[in-house]
Structure 1
Amino acid sequence: MIFWSTLDRSLILPLVPAIADDLDTTVAAAAGAITAHALAYAALQLLWGPLSTRWGRVRVLVLSTALAAAANLVSALAPDMTTFLLARTASGGAFAATFAAVLTYFGDMLPMRRRPAAMANLATATALGLAVGTVAAGAIGSVLEWRWIFGGFALVTALLVPLLAALPDSADRGTERILAQVTRLARNPWALGVCALVALEGVLLIGIFNLLPVALQQSGEDVFVAGLVTASFGVTVVVVSQLMKLVVGRVRPWQFLVAGGASATAAFVALAIHVSALSVLVGAALMGVAWALAHTTFQTWMTDAAADSRALGMTLFSISLMAGGALGAALGAAAIDSRAFGVLFAGAVGGAAVLGVVSAVARARYRNRDI
């Protein structure tokens, strides 16, 4: 489900110009669907988190996946930009149920020493969703209308519903009041600090990254090339996250964060200099390295920092990430309007450097609570 929910986010990335042309709107307005999707994904976790605790993970996943299938069908049939925007918002809100539930499950079921490998597998699933989504949408979009892509995705999503319903629900049903968990989290500076860092990560590696295919198409490349080179992000995440398993016991977490911050900084330097197929290929690949090294470290860190209120803590973690992604997408949409991608990428250089330095220093000072 992590793979499939990520695919929902990535399918639109190379299709924005085609959607804008078909729905008779601007590219910036069509790109607003990316921002709306991310905002709904962030906000609706406030609903799905408590519901998954009370109802159980499987019941929530069945309901949310059915809603996502319906939302994608409406996306495929949308007669105008308003309908399409509402449908993409609904899809993001439906798939908001997925990510935090999986993170919470890993945190509950695995000891601290086994979590980094599990988080690496999670990063791999996310990366495959990004890579497959951008390449497949770019390839199919070059020969078929974009509506077929969303229609096909809706059909397969609907087929997943009975498969999910057949799964055993192994999650415990929580009885503690949400207010008590919120109060405990509000008094936890480490958990709040991790969420702040993850929000900045979301701005850079989700929000701004999502606009790379649009930036490349504005430079003159076609939809297939834009999707293909952007998919280097997913390829490097898969490779690096699996390699991490071989060294995770010998490399300190803060060292992963240093390397991740350096990779993100180098990525945006390449993009700030010039936007081309080669620079996007290199930049997306380096961003994938940053995601594999830094994000998996943040995930593992948060499962420990919020150990006494893990379900809500992981929900807040995911909300922070996607809220940052929504902000980054909004900045990207503004850059589309003014064709100011150089300024956007130059600012991202500074943000990536700050992320690497601050997160590494903070993680070096942190002492694990769980074992």
Structure 2
Amino acid sequence: MSDSTLTLTHSVRHERLALGLAGFFAAASIRAADTLLPALSRDFGISAGMTGVAVTSFMLAYAAFQLIYGPLAERHGKLRVIAFALLACAAANLSQSLAPSFPWLVVLRAMAGAAAAGVVPICLARLGDTEPLASRQGLLARYSVATICGLMTGQWLSGLIADTLGWRAVFVLLAAGFAGVAAVVARFVRHDESPARWRLASPDLRPNAAALLRSAWVRRVLGMTLLLGFLCPSVFAFVATYLKLHFALSLAAAGAITAMHGIGGLLYAGLAPALIRRLGRRRLAWLSAALLGAGMTSIALGHHWLWIAAGCLAGGCGYYVVLNAMQTTATQMAPMQRANAVALFAFCLFAGQGLGVLLAARLVDTIGIPALFAICAVLVALLVLWVSRQLLQRLEAAPP
């Protein structure tokens, strides 16, 4: 092996480590507010359901700005856009720590969502550029370890910090983390060849996000993604609130239990290559539907917080099975404009989550959280089975 090959290998390895750090902090910022909802309800004097608006504003802004970051990444380079987005995340999170009122916090959460939109989806597109399809699902599963750990840390540590230093300190720490990772990612910008390809390509051959929507397959994948976001991760945003109000747990304890959703994802990420090889994608899809349905049912019917923890564990594992398959499909929908394709995928996933949280917030104040999970248990299991049927044949037949 030549010295240049060794250098390239080390460079790619270090770049992926930097992208993992970026994904960690972006994921932590996405779910940090979930555990803070009871504290926000207390400090600002609003109902538990109303606090969900802070989650919705983040998700909808996160979704909307995918339509901006995708084309920017195609033209100016994925790594450059990721570094810029990380700096914007640092500024937005610092601003949230200074929010004087709940309406201001909602606005600043939207700004944070707009900034974070340029991190994980563009990281996935960059990973897709540097890994063939045959091994990409395994790589994306390993990358999800970073984002899942970020989700868990955001959910648990935000509650612990809120109980000791107050909820504003959570956003100060996130801002510091984002600033540090931005400096690391910026070192790899010169390795991204996307800007050069854009300049050399003729105008007719340059990436065009609107052209993607002409494909019936792309529209179908995006529709399935929207439904998945609407039915699944949106309702898990209220688990910490349920634990706080129904079981009188501390925010730290509620965050730790909610983080079991991430533990389930880590279990899948660690076992993904073996599960895909032993079970095959079709039986793995059935397992995903069963785990999601059982997990949500456990949360709906559980009379002890241990049942809630078990439900989060099972639901997290089931969710990441189907999410991993859909992420892999998204990176292969349009290989010549992967940033646009993954950005549209993320737009639909988080638009679904934002709208789902908005509807779930209304149902929380009317039918209650257990009934909400009972309804979603049935709907999401049926959805996963339908999605898997649509994806499997296409994914297995795709060229590497």
Do the two structures share a fold, i.e. TM-score over 0.5? yes
Deviation, structure 1 residue 284: 0.8
Map residues 197-208 of structure 1 onto 2, 5 A cutoff: 197-208=224-235
Pairs within 5 Å for 1:143-182: 143-171=164-192, 172-173=194-195, 174=198, 175=201, 181-182=208-209
User: In the alignment, which of 351, 356, 366 is matched to residue 379 of structure 2?
Assistant: 351
Contact map agreement 2:38 2:241 (CA 8 A) in 1: yes
AA paired with 2:223?
Answer: A
Q: Would the alpha carbon gap of residues 27 and 56 (structure 1) be closer, same or farther in structure 2, given more than 3 Å must change?
A: same
Q: Is the 8 A contact 1:57 1:169 kept in 2?
A: no
Shift of 1:42: 0.5
1:49 aligns with 2:75: no
Matches within 5 A, 1:292-303: 292-303=320-331
1:370 aligns with 2:391: no
The corresponding residue for 2:218 is 191
For 1:88-121, what per-residue CA distance to the aligned partner results, in whole angstroms no more than 9, with x for missing partners?
Answer: 1100110100122112122222111110111111
Give the structure 2 partner of residue 310 of structure 1: 338
**Structure 1: which amino acid aligns with 2:183?**
P
Aligned length: 371
Q: Deviations over 1:127-172 (max 9, x none)?
A: 1111111111122222221111111221222233322222234331
Contact preservation (8 Å) 1:331, 1:344:
no
Q: Does the Cα contact within 8 Å between 1:65 and 1:95 map onto a contact in 2?
A: yes
Q: Which is further off, 63-72 or 163-172?
A: 163-172
Structure 1 counterpart of 2:94, from 58, 63, 73: 73
Higher deviation after alignment, 15-24 or 73-82: 15-24
Q: Distance in 2 between matches of 1:149 and 1:263?
A: 32
Deviates more, 1:167-176 or 1:15-24: 167-176
- Give the unaligned 5+ runs of structure 2: 1-21
Q: Does 1:216 align with 2:237?
A: no
Instruction: Kindly indicate whether the alpha-carbon contact (under 8 Å) linking 1:305 and 1:369 is maintained by their aligned counterparts in 2.
Output: no
Residue 318 of structure 2 corresponds to residue 290 of structure 1: yes
Match of 2:300 among 272, 287, 310: 272
How big is the shift at 1:45? 0.9
Structure 1 counterpart of 2:159: 138
Partner of 1:25: 46
Q: How does 1:81-120 map to 2 (within 5 A)?
A: 81-120=102-141
The 1-side partners of 2:175 and 2:155 are apart by 17
Amino acid of the structure 2 residue aligned with 1:197 = M
Amino acid at match of 2:291: S
Using structure 1 for the length normalisation, give the TM-score.
Answer: 0.93
Q: Is the 8 A contact 2:238 2:369 kept in 1?
A: no
Change (3 A) 1:177 1:5: farther
The range that moved more, 1-10 or 268-277, is 268-277
| Structure-2 residue corresponding to 1:230 | 258
The structure 2 residue matched to 1:319, chosen from 332, 342, 347, is 347
Take 2:159 and 2:368, find their aligned partners in 1: how far apart are those partners?
24
Distance 1:203 1:275, change over 3 A: farther
Give the whole-Å Cα distance in 2 for the aligned partners of 1:107 and 1:316.
15
CA RMSD of aligned residues (A): 2.1
Q: Secondary structure at the match of 2:191?
A: coil
CA contact (8 A) 2:27 2:150 kept: yes
> Greater CA deviation, 294-303 or 85-94?
294-303
Distance in structure 1 (CA, Å) of the matches to 2:274 and 2:340: 31
**Greater Cα offset, 285-294 or 199-208:** 199-208
TM-score (norm 2): 0.87
Query: Partner residue of 1:244?
Result: 272
Which deviates further from its counterpart, 350-359 or 338-347? Answer: 338-347
CA–CA distance in structure 2, aligned partners of residues 45 and 183 of structure 1: 13
Give the conservation status (yes or no) of the 8 Å contact 2:25–2:177: no
How much has 1:321 moved relative to structure 2?
0.8
Q: Contact 2:80 / 2:189 at 8 angstroms: preserved in 1?
A: no
**Identity of matched residues, %:** 26
Letter in 2 for 1:207: S
Give the C-alpha shift of residue 275 in structure 1.
Answer: 6.0
Q: Indicate the SS of the match to 1:29.
A: coil
1:264 positional shift: 0.7
